[in-house]
Structure 1
Amino acid sequence: MAEPTFEELLHGSRRRAVHLEMRDGYSRNDPVFIDWAAGQPVDPAERYRPWPEMVRENTGRGVEMLRARIVSEPISEYIRFEGEVTKDLNIAAGEDVRWLPRRRATDLTLPGNDFWLFDDGPALINHFDGEGDSTEHEIIDDPSIVSLLASAFDAVWERAVPHAEYWPA
């Protein structure tokens, strides 16, 4: 049996899909990031299609989509980019996004990788190389690991600052 795709996992969610991001940079060869870094205007909702449509479709059927980002401060150029495009991309589409400064996460038990968790499982674990490029993913449905991931996300979410209230100097 073939492994389900991200889209299938998301569309199979009934209550919530949560995403924990813990890196200070991703895919720095992303053309949208490169254009933004060069000072060119970018329309993230247009450039990252079909993400906004996928979010609207799922939130429209009652699935809560939550994204938490753990970040170092001062923030990296890539995180500054993410912060600037989040309102027009993620928030406008219906995601709820929060930020947690890394220094406030010291006492939290966190997994070693970014992940998506769909309802009470499965989880999609993202693996990246040292430059922030995605190398592979794996799907885990082991109840003990899923429980650990859910607990980690909830702890981060409880402490994190809503996007509208977070923007470091």
Structure 2
Amino acid sequence: MIPFGEVAHLFEDFAHTAWRLETRRGYASDRVGPKWKRFQRGEALGYEPDQPWHASVRRQTEQGKRFERVRLVDDPPTEGQRFLLTSGPGNVEAGEDIRNMYRAEALRLGLPDYDFWLFDSRIVMKFVIDDQDETLGVYLLEDAETVVHACQVRDMAWHYAIATAEFQAQVPSTV
């Protein structure tokens, strides 16, 4: 296991695609971030061109790269998931394609219960997250079995997931 910061360069260095599966009901990093209090006050969390993640995504997508993710959501959504549903459109405006899927559907499909990024269909960054939703570190995996499985998960999840705007219309009380 290595610290996330040691592999953060992958978000700039990938050549074509960065794809993520988000399975958690909330993330400690969100709860300590500056947007959390704004979310709790009911403020809009739109696109912020100077926010580091939005700026990076915009730079990468302007180069023709793709950022995509599928987020699992409980029914009803947890507070952490409501935060992600509220902040998601800002990420979409920055250039990400974010889709959502109810957890029950993910379980039916047999999707994994851990978070990971898949870079260029060749590197898997698997997160290690504790019971308090704190990221402890990541594993970088490049073996064929793990990568092929991640690609299969991506393809299945992407096929069944629902685009952000359409999903939000299904759960209007969350945003």
1:95 matched to which residue of 2?
96
Q: Specify the alignment match of 2:57 in structure 1.
A: 55
Corresponding residue for residue 11 of structure 1: 12
Q: Which moved more, 1:30-39 or 1:97-106?
A: 30-39
CA distance in structure 1 between the partners assigned to 2:36 and 2:18 by the alignment: 29
Query: What is the CA–CA distance in structure 1 between the aligned matches of 2:26 and 2:128, rounded to whole Å?
Result: 13
Letter in 2 for 1:55: V
Partner of 1:135: 136
Contact (CA 8 Å) 1:23, 1:70: kept in 2 or not? yes
* CA displacement, residues 54-74 of structure 1 (integer Å, 9 cap, x when unaligned): 101111111111011011110
Conserved? CA contact 2:25–2:74, under 8 Å: yes
Aligned residues: 167
Which sections of structure 1, spanning at least 5 residues, go unmatched?
A: none
The answer to whether the 8 A contact 2:123-2:140 is kept is yes
- CA gap of 1:96–1:84, structure 2 versus 1, over 3 A, is same
Deviation, 1:38, is: 3.7
Percent identical residues: 28
TM-score, normalising length: structure 2: 0.84
Is contact 2:20-2:115 (8 Å) kept? Answer: yes
Report the CA distance shift for 1:117/1:48 in structure 2 as closer, same or farther (over 3 A).
Answer: farther
| CA–CA distance in structure 2, aligned partners of residues 40 and 107 of structure 1 | 33
- Please state whether the residue corresponding to 2:31 is helix, strand or coil: coil
Q: Quick one: distance in 1 between partners of 2:7 and 2:50? A: 16
Query: Which runs of at least 4 in structure 1 moved beyond 6 Å after TM superposition?
Result: none
**Which has the larger helix fraction?**
2
Partner amino acid for 1:162?
A
Conserved in 1, the CA contact under 8 Å of 2:49 and 2:94?
no
So what's the TM-score if we normalise by structure 1? Answer: 0.87
Contact map agreement 2:126 2:140 (CA 8 A) in 1: yes
Deviation (angstroms), 1:107 = 2.9
CA RMSD, aligned part only? 2.4
Q: Which runs of 5+ in 2 are unaligned?
A: none
**Kept in 1: contact 2:111–2:153 (CA 8 A):** yes
